[in-house]
Chain A
Amino acid sequence: QKEVEQNSGPLSVPEGAIASLNCTYSDRGSQSFFWYRQYSGKSPELIMFIYSNGDKEDGRFTAQLNKASQYVSLLIRDSQPSDSATYLCAVIAAGNKLTFGGGTRVLVKP
């Protein structure tokens, strides 16, 4: 079982719609959760971090964390073609090591 799992996609979303990305993790002691966006050939760019159960909103992005169910999700509202990228879920668990999921590729179609 992978430590951090994501659906590889591609997740195809019409422009203006909501993109919903999910991530599950195996270490129940995980404390910190991150979403990074990575354009093809570029480095990961931090979008959001979340530490507590519930929702955290930043502009068009909302991160949701449910520690009991061991999942974290990212919602992208009003999706734009510029949101087309791979989204990496990352978790800091035991040993303070940042572990990445395999990423979900998102395609926003005009």
Chain B
Amino acid sequence: DAMVIQNPRYQVTQFGKPVTLSCSQTLNHNVMYWYQQKSSQAPKLLFHYYDKDFNNEADTPDNFQSRRPNTSFCFLDIRSPGLGDAAMYLCATSLRSGTDTQYFGPGTRLTVL
């Protein structure tokens, strides 16, 4: 089945220790997104790629970076996680553009100790 896969599903890191979350997709979608969702809040867009074109949200902290080495994979790097970065990180994809339906992966739950 075509799908969006996120690894790991649960990640525990220490305060200030860099962490990388990964997302892969077999849908062959052009657009990939990273969202942050904290408890009882709506998902918040961090950044997205139209193919290789990177788009950063204005309020995304510099502590968050992303890489998309190819169509299938996208990574979220948190350079120095703080306690406030503990959240669910959601990867989503859409077919061609930002107006297309977005499909979400299962998410990675990040805990910062």
Within 8 A of A (CB), among B26-77: 33, 41-43, 45
Total CB contacts across the A-B interface at under 8 A: 45
In the complex, are the beta carbons of B107 and A102 less than 8 A apart?
no
User: 11 A-B contacts, Cβ less than 8 Å apart?
Assistant: A31-B99, A42-B106, A43-B105, A43-B106, A44-B90, A46-B102, A46-B103, A96-B99, A97-B98, A102-B41, A103-B42
Provide the residues of chain B in CB contact with A66, threshold 8 Å.
Answer: none
Within 8 A of A (CB), among B79-113: 88, 90, 97-99, 101-107, 109
In the complex, are the beta carbons of A88 and B104 less than 8 A apart?
no
Q: How far is the CB of B111 from chain A (nearest CB, A)?
A: 13
Report the bound CA distance from A54 to B43 in whole Å: 27
Chain A positions within 8 Å of B, measured between CB atoms, are 31-32, 34, 36, 41-46, 49, 88, 92, 95-98, 100-103
Provide the residues of chain B in CB contact with A32, threshold 8 Å.
Answer: 99, 101
In the complex, are the beta carbons of B42 and A92 less than 8 A apart?
no
Chain B residues touching A, majority SS: loop
Provide the residues of chain B in CB contact with A102, threshold 8 Å.
Answer: 41-42
In the complex, are the beta carbons of B42 and A88 less than 8 A apart?
yes
The interface on chain B, measured as residues whose beta carbon lies within 8 A of the other chain's beta carbons, has a size of 18
Q: How far is the CB of B12 from chain A (nearest CB, A)?
A: 16
In the complex, are the beta carbons of B107 and A42 less than 8 A apart?
yes
Provide the residues of chain B in CB contact with A101, threshold 8 Å.
Answer: 42
In the complex, are the beta carbons of B99 and A92 less than 8 A apart?
yes
In the complex, are the beta carbons of B106 and A92 less than 8 A apart?
no
Report the bound CA distance from A31 to B41 in whole Å: 24
A43 partner, pick from B41, B45, B98, B107, beta carbons under 8 A = B107
Q: A92-B98, A97-B98, A98-B102 are in contact. Are A43 and B42 (CB under 8 A)?
A: no
Provide the residues of chain B in CB contact with A96, threshold 8 Å.
Answer: 97-99
Provide the residues of chain B in CB contact with A95, threshold 8 Å.
Answer: 98
